[in-house]
Every structure is written in C-alpha cells, then in structure tokens.
C-alpha cells in the first residue's frame, strides 16, 4: 500500500487564496446543513504550548482526515521554529486506508486566513477600506491576503511587539501594493479602522472597548485555546457575535473567558458562520452594527483545503509515494 507524502516545499503556492476561500466557504455550508462529521478538537497541554488532534469526514467531498497541530508561542524567538506546526493525514472513507500525509502548517495558515476573509465577506461593511491589525505574524499575513480578495483596501495599520515584527510584515506584504502603516500603540491600529484583525496569543485583553467604533467588524483569531482572550469583554456585549463552532468557541475561542465568568452566555451568540453562508440567518443588517467573528479553527477547513492540495499534487506529479504499511 503506497501513501503519497507531500512536503511543504511542494504545496506552498499550489493553490490561490481565492481557491481556498471557496473551499472553506463550502465546508462551512456543509456543516450548517448537517453534512459533516466533526468530533470536538482534543487538546494535550505541554509546559510551553499544546497540541491538538482534529478529525473529520465530509461525505460530499469523499474524504476523511485528521490534523495534528501544535501551538508554541515561544518557538520563533527561542528555537527558530514556527509557532504552529502541523501534519495532515488524508483517509479514503471506503477502506479507511491513508491516501496521503502532508505538511499541515501551510494548510493551517492559509485556511485560517481564508475563514477570516469569508467571515468579513458576510459580516463587514461592503465599503470597508481601512484594516487594523493587532499582531503581525503568519496568521496576520494570511488574513490580509484573504481580505484583499474581498475589499478595495486603502490602508493597513499594523501593531505588534516587538516592532521588528511589524517591519518584517510590511516587507513581506509589500507585493500587495497596499499602504501599510506601522503603529507604535495598539490603540492607533484599532481606532478608525473598518475591519480589525487580532492574531495574538495573549491571555489578557489587548483591545479596549472605547477604541471600537460602531460599524466595525472584528476577526478575532488569536484566542484558540482555553484562557486566551484578546478583546475587552464589553466589546462582545455590544456586538453581533458569530462563531465557527459554538461548542468549540465556548471552550477555547474569544468568548471562552467571558462565558466562564458569566459576562456573556451562549444565548448571546448570534450564529455560526455556516448558518449565515447557508442562508439560515442573515449577516450584517446595517452599517452601525459591530460584528465579531470568533475563529477557533475547524477540522472541516483543514480537510477541504487538504483535498484540493492532494488533487493538485496528483495532477502535477508532486510529492513522493512510499510504502509505509
């Protein structure tokens, strides 16, 4: 039995952000229609991080799979390693045999950005032009790539610690031709923006309520584990809250701390993103709404993206087949 091994070097650039956004949007729709199997994400905690296992099956797409992914915030500075590293295994439902093992780090990064772009498509004001970014790492890059597919962006304001992270972000994203401004304070990146993206690993709110204007949309990406929290809970009380998955968000998303403290309840969650995509609920209804997308990252996003990678790799003869079993 041969299995296709697809390394990162073969899959970087194999798909466009637009293709991944379309795949992720479809995956959310399948979820809302009850057409996926996706057990809860499991966490194993380490002293300096964690790893998660994320299985799922999408019958409409004809594949199952599981991702193993870590999050270690100290990696870049201390060890020269990415904060997030992942491995994806693609499985044939009919026999259960593994079809491919591939790098999942790129998949994790691009599908997270894609989800943010899809969420903003449904929740942000259509005339949004100013993007604020708190956090300037890999996740911020893919978020901006996706937003650039949806909106005519005039200005990007970015804040992060250390400041050299912002400088690298600006250099790396220069190919988009956008006006990227580095800000020395988080407040300056937040105030006056139409869409705010937060991608930090903090456990104390970094964005204050008084900085957030009416009509702003927020992609809250950084809180993806228990105790993480980027937003002042009072922002949540003012906003229409949309999550990728209710149970997962309550456990490990931006809303996990406010819910545990009784500041908000499940009843304050307006919808899952898939419900809006599938037309079960409406998205933004007026220009004055504050909307929040609480992204924890779902296995369906990984699987939908991995399927595209696998098919493209087969078409192009990428990767290498090995006999593991």
CA distance 122 to 132: 18
DSSP characters over 24-61? HHHHHHHHHTT--B-PPPEEEEETTEEEEEEEEEEGGG
CA distance 192 to 143: 19
Write out the catalytic residue numbers: 67
Paired sense of beta strands 291-294 and 217-220, if any? parallel
CA distance 34 to 300: 12
Indicate the length of the chain as a whole number: 325
Q: What's the first-to-final CA gap in the chain, in angstroms?
A: 6
CA distance 220 to 18: 21
Contacts of 92 (CB under 8 A, 6+ apart): 63, 64, 98, 99
CA distance 44 to 9: 28
Quick check: helix, strand or coil at residue 163? helix
């Amino acid at each position: 039995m041969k299995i296709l091994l697809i390394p990162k070097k073969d899959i970087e650039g194999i798909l466009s952000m637009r293709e991944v956004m379309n795949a992720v949007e479809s995956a959310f729709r399948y979820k809302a229609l009850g057409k996926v199997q996706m057990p809860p994400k499991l966490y194993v905690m380490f002293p300096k991080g964690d790893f998660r296992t994320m299985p799922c099956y999408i019958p409409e797409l004809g594949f199952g799979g599981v991702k193993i992914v870590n999050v270690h915030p100290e990696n870049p500075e201390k060890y020269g390693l990415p904060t997030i590293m992942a491995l994806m295994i693609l499985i044939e439902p009919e026999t259960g045999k593994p079809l491919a093992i591939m790098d999942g780090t790129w998949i994790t990064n691009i599908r997270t950005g894609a989800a943010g772009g899809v969420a903003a498509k449904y929740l942000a004001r259509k005339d949004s032009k100013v993007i604020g970014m708190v956090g300037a790492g890999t996740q911020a890059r893919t978020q901006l790539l996706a937003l650039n597919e949806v909106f005519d962006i005039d200005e990007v304001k970015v804040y992060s610690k250390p400041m050299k992270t912002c400088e690298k972000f600006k250099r790396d994203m220069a190919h988009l031709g956008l006006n990227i401004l580095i800000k020395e304070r988080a407040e300056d990146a937040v105030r006056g923006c139409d869409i705010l993206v937060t991608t930090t690993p903090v456990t104390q709110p970094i964005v204050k309520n008084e900085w957030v204007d009416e009509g702003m949309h927020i992609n809250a990406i950084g809180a993806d584990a228990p105790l993480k929290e980027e937003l002042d809970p009072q922002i949540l009380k003012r906003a229409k809250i949309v999550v990728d998955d209710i149970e997962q968000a309550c456990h490990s998303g931006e809303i996990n701390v406010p819910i545990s403290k009784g500041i908000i309840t499940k009843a304050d969650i307006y919808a899952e993103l898939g419900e809006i995509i599938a037309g079960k609920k409406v998205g933004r209804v007026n220009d004055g709404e504050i909307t929040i997308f609480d992204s924890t990252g779902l296995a369906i996003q990984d699987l939908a993206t991995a399927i595209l990678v696998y098919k493209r790799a087969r078409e192009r003869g990428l990767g290498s087949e090995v006999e593991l079993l």
